[in-house]
Structure 1
Amino acid sequence: MQEPQASRIALTWNGEPGRQEELTHGMLLDQAVRAAAALSRLGVRAGDRVAVHLPLVPESVIATLACGRLDAIRTTLPVSLTVPELVARTQESSARVLITADAAFWDGAVRPVKALLDHALARGAASGGVPDRKVLVVNRCSRPVSWKPGRDQWWHEALGMPTVPC
């Protein structure tokens, strides 16, 4: 990427509570490459599905770009879905890798995004859902979350980046 382009703002995100982030083209490219490498290490190949269960945050855009770099299929699991809806959507997607957040700000309150996905995955597994899923967890709100060793991994660790406190 040409240096002048790399330093230009590519993405401005305004979130709750009054939080703002800006990513340059260079930063966005770097994180997309890192995310694609992380997904590849988790076994994602061309044509595979990656389910993204994130609020509207920069990592959602980065995940989309990473999937594009791998020619993987990005499927969206809106954070507004209920657990039964998440069970159905995760089973339909057949995604072996899911990307979620610890929590999300939603109309001034904190929504436990990962906890909802955990419940959906447990229900899905009990009814013969896709085994051996991997879950990348974006630390958006620094909330405590349940953790399943071998399945769950922090996004920032997978990308080899420091965490950004909420």
Structure 2
Amino acid sequence: MTWWNTPVSHAVEPPDRLTIGAGPATDVFGDPGGTARTANAPALLAELAGDFTLAARVELDFRTTYDAGVLFLHVDGDNHAKLCLELSPQGRPTIVSVVTRGGVSDDCNSFTVDSGARLRITRIGGAYAFHADTGDGFWHLVRYFALPSPARVGFLAQSPLGEGQTVRFTEIAHTTAPPEDLRGGQ
């Protein structure tokens, strides 16, 4: 695994805990209105061959709007995707997905959660699926999409409007076996 943008702090603790500290004004987003483009949030990434599933519980202290813990796909500076546990403008932890193609991001708020959540990225062939488990044991499909290959995958912390954020990733799991049914909740 390698860093894409340097974190303020980070720690790896066995067996499956990663902590990433993001500095102030950190994000990866290309405004569809063309007003701003930012790509300075720290991410720890690995290139995984073939089909895979990467999952982790994500927790953070929600302080400022858009603070987020993210599972991240990175092809290049113009093509990437984020599955976020993010503080919404309404002040609620929210599952958010962002897909950026050609430097332009789209942004979709899916649903709110009580606090932390488990997030999951799956690649099957040339397609990706984002899922979230809010504590009920059901993997809710958030998004199904394509990006160019190869893509690196990993963990990102962001604080676009804040003074920084520390994100905790636990229960990290990787497998080469995708779920049997992307919409079935398993």
TM-score (norm 1): 0.25
Name the one with the larger strand percent.
Answer: 2
Greater RCO, CA 8 A, separation 6+: 2
